[in-house]
Amino acid sequence: MAQSQPFALACQGGLNKVASQFELFRSPGEATKLKNFEVSTQGGYRRINGYSQFGDGTRPNSANAIKGLQVYADGLIACSGTNIYFSQDGDSWLLLNRASVSGSGDNYSTFGGRSTSARTSQGQASFANYEGDTDYGELIITDRGSAVKPFYFKMTGTGDLDTRTFYAKEITVSGVVYPKYCVIHDRHLVVAGAGTAPNTIYYSGTDDIDDFTSSGSGSIKLDDQVVGLKSFRDDLIIFCKNSIYKLVNINFKY
pLDDT tens-place string over residues 224-249: 999 999 999 999 999 999 999 999 98
Which run of H or E residues covers position 110?
helix 108-113
Least confident among 1-10, 129-138, 186-195: 1-10
For range 177-187, the mean pLDDT: 97
**Res 7: pLDDT:** 61
For range 199-217, the mean pLDDT: 97
**Res 254: pLDDT:** 54
What span, in angstroms and rounded, lies between the C-alpha atoms of 92 and 70? Answer: 16
In this prediction, residue 48 has a pLDDT band, given cuts at 50, 70 and 90, of: confident
More confident residue, 122 or 17: 122
What span, in angstroms and rounded, lies between the C-alpha atoms of 76 and 79? Answer: 10
The model's pLDDT over 127-154, given as tens digits with 9 standing for 90+, comes to: 999 998 889 999 999 999 888 999 999 9
Which run of H or E residues covers position 46?
strand 45-47
**Res 188: pLDDT:** 97
Q: Among 241, 229, 143, 239, which residue's Cα sits nearest to residue 186?
A: 229
The model's pLDDT over 58-109, given as tens digits with 9 standing for 90+, comes to: 788 888 999 999 999 999 999 999 999 999 999 999 999 999 999 999 999 9
What span, in angstroms and rounded, lies between the C-alpha atoms of 205 and 66? Answer: 32
Alpha-carbon distances, residue 21 vs 17, 24, 25, 186 (angstroms)? 10, 5, 6, 47
pTM of the model as a whole: 0.82
What backbone phi and psi angles, to 5 degrees, belong to 162? -80, 5
**Res 55: pLDDT:** 86
**Res 9: pLDDT:** 53
For range 105-122, the mean pLDDT: 96
Find all residues with CB under 8 Å of 141, minimum gap 6, and list them: 68, 70, 77, 79, 84, 125, 126, 127, 150, 151, 153, 182
**Res 11: pLDDT:** 54
**Sequence spans of domains, the chain:** 8-51, 97-248
More confident residue, 71 or 35: 71
